Copies of this chain bind each other. A is one copy, B any other.
Amino acid sequence: MIRIAVDTLGGDNGSAPVVEGIIQFLKDNKDISIIAVGKKEELTKLEGLCEIVDAPDIVPMEAGPLEVMRMKNSSMYKTVMLAKEGKADAVVSAGSTGGFLSSSTLLLKTIPGVNRAAFIAPFPTKIKGHYVVILDIGASNENSPEELKQFAVMGELYSKYILDVENPKVYLLSNGTEPLKGSPEGKEAYKLLKENPHFMGNIEARNALAGEADVIVTDGFTGNVFLKSSEGMAKMMSGFFKDAFKKNLWTMLGYLHVRKGIKNISEIMDYKSTGGAMLLGVNGVIVKVHGNTDAYSMYCAIRVAKKLVEKDIATKIKEGI
């Protein structure tokens, strides 16, 4: 039976939505066992449904690696320790990204042959139902060409086994499509990537979500800027459209006609359903949920963790690297 450890603290909205997400997930998945880690008194609703581990401390958002490793009574540390001790097959947390990254890499270690772990996330594209995975979106501030080459392999395996893309098309995020474009590291990475038969060349940020690419490789700093600028623009555009509909009775009537189409867009753009970001390259399954999580996104994140365990992604990477 797959065992998933869930950190119930550290999210912006406290443990309540996490608890709700767990309850719903256990209702729908009888074959999974959950270990909920957090303040015992906040987890009473889970009694009898799953194992509970008491851990009263919350890792602060901006905790450094040393601080997290010292917080042995924190929900995050205890959650990751469950994986280290072989008591959990996957860990899920909505807490501090930096803290989760440090504790996971320090306690579980990177897979042999992987220099650095990477956060990967699926992005919706113009083509309904098609996702492109982008990595690294923020585990590192910079990456060597060799690391980018490893990211390509990890992304490919993710696309293949988790998103069921048979022959994933891999691209390198750049400022132009020609081989000579890119940051200094990007240009070097291009040379290394040419040996990969799935590598299709450079892609510009404006075409990243057009649906052609299955995997996009980038350093963690640039990937993070890509993620956040896309997010910012999507939010701004949605806001503009909402305002256009809110103007008066006629525009509100107009909304009635297109609401189905708009709902469709919201579904396509719904990052919550994709289960957050996964940390690839460590010995284990690590799923980071957005800090501002609700029950639904926690539910989706646990579902992704389950799939990652089922597909044994860590072993696939071990073999593929």
Contacts and interface: CB of A to CB of B under 8 A. Distances in A.
A141, A255, A265 interface centre (most CB from chain B within 10 Å): A141
Interface string A237-277: 11111011101001101111110111011001100000000
A204 B233 contact: no
> Quick one: which of A222, A232, A265 has the most chain B CB within 10 A?
A232
B228 A225 contact: no
A126 interface: yes
Given A173-B225, A222-B225, A142 B265 contact: no
Contact of A209 (B233, B253, B256): B233
Contacts of A221: 175, 182-183, 186, 222
A197 interface: no
A175 B138 contact: yes
A229 interface: yes
A231 interface: yes
Contacts of A258: 244-245, 247, 251, 254-255
Given A225-B205, A232-B209, A244-B264, A141 B62 contact: no
A253 B257 CA distance: 8
A249 B221 CA distance: 46
Determine the main DSSP class of A at the interface with B.
helix
Contacts of A184: 141-142
A231 to B, nearest CB: 5
A119 to B, nearest CB: 11
Interface of A: 62, 126, 138, 141-142, 173, 175, 178, 181-184, 186, 204-210, 220-222, 224-241, 243-245, 247, 250-251, 253-258, 260-262, 264-265, 268-269
Contacts of A268: 240
B230 A244 contact: no
A62 B232 contact: no
A204 B138 CA distance: 12
Contacts of A208: 229, 232
Contacts of A244: 258, 260-262, 264-265
Given A232-B206, A257-B251, A141 B182 contact: yes
A202 B189 CA distance: 28
Question: Nearest 4 CB-CB pairs, A to B?
Answer: A244-B261, A254-B257, A205-B228, A206-B232
B237 A229 contact: no
A88 B256 CA distance: 56
Contacts of A230: 229-230, 232-233
Contacts of A205: 224-229, 231-232
A5 to B, nearest CB: 27
A265 B229 CA distance: 18
B142 A183 contact: yes
